[in-house]
């Protein structure tokens, strides 16, 4: 039996305000900061093969879902008016079949305790930053190895 896929839930604005590089993007506007966060974590989706959902506080009467890459496993959710991103995250964890496969990124201690009690694993924005940086290093290392291999193959042909 295979393990259920991992799901990373990210409290969007919470993380933007906690990571200096993302917070600096707010100078260009909220949309730029949101886009930068989604781009930043899409590497985790692609490299780690996990489902990633970034949740932002609402902007309409209903939950809005965007899929920036068209992939169902990389989503941006906007909570409905009157429900915070925290509330949506807690609902997602609370209704999950396998909450133990969910990791939630937030610096909100109340949310962290709630999702922990529901069976999910809390991560800090710093944990997320470190994870993204490890993935970026992994990709850079793999690209260097590939380039080296290509270079060696070309030298053998000459």
Instruction: Give the number of other Cβ atoms within 10 Å of residue 71's Cβ.
Output: 13
Mean pLDDT of all residues in 68-97 = 93
Mean pLDDT of all residues in 59-85 = 91
- On the question of pLDDT at 113 being above 70, the answer is yes
pTM for this model (two decimals): 0.87
Q: Is residue 78 part of a domain?
A: yes
Q: Please state, in angstroms and as integers, the Cα–Cα distance from residue 143 to each residue in 43, 135, 147, following that order.
A: 15, 12, 6
Residue 69: φ, ψ to 5°: -100, -5
Grade residue 1 by pLDDT with cuts at 50, 70 and 90. Answer: very low
Q: Is residue 35 part of a domain?
A: yes
List the Cα angle 20/88/32 in 5-degree steps. 35
Q: How far is CA 145 from the centre of its chain?
A: 27
Q: Is residue 2 part of a domain?
A: no
Bridge partners for 76 per DSSP: 54, 66
Q: Is residue 90 part of a domain?
A: yes
Q: Considering its fold, how many domains does the chain have in total?
A: 1
Which CATH number does the domain housing residue 49 bear? 3.40.50
pLDDT digits (tens, 9 = 90+) for 27-61: 999 999 999 999 999 988 988 889 999 999 987 88
- On the question of pLDDT at 136 being above 80, the answer is yes
Give kind and range of the element (H or E) at residue 110: helix 109-117
Instruction: Give the number of other Cβ atoms within 10 Å of residue 107's Cβ.
Output: 16
Instruction: Report the half-sphere exposure of 5 (CA within 13 A, side-chain side).
Output: 10
Q: Is residue 1 part of a domain?
A: no
Q: Is residue 134 part of a domain?
A: yes
């Amino acid at each position: 039996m295979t393990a259920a896929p991992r799901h990373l839930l990210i409290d969007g604005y919470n993380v933007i305000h906690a990571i200096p590089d993302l917070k600096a993007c707010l100078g260009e506007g909220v949309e730029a900061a949101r886009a930068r966060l989604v781009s930043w974590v899409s590497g985790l989706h692609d490299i780690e093969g996990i489902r990633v959902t970034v949740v932002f506080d609402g902007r309409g009467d209903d939950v809005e879902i965007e899929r920036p890459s068209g992939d169902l496993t990389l989503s941006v959710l906007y909570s409905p008016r009157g429900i915070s991103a925290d509330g949506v995250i807690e609902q997602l964890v609370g209704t999950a079949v396998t909450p133990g496969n969910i990791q939630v990124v937030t610096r909100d201690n109340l949310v962290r305790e709630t999702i922990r009690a529901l069976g999910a694993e809390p991560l800090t924005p710093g944990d997320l930053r470190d994870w993204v940086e490890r993935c970026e290093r992994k990709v850079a290392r793999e690209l260097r190895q590939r380039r080296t291999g290509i270079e060696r193959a070309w030298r053998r042909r000459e």
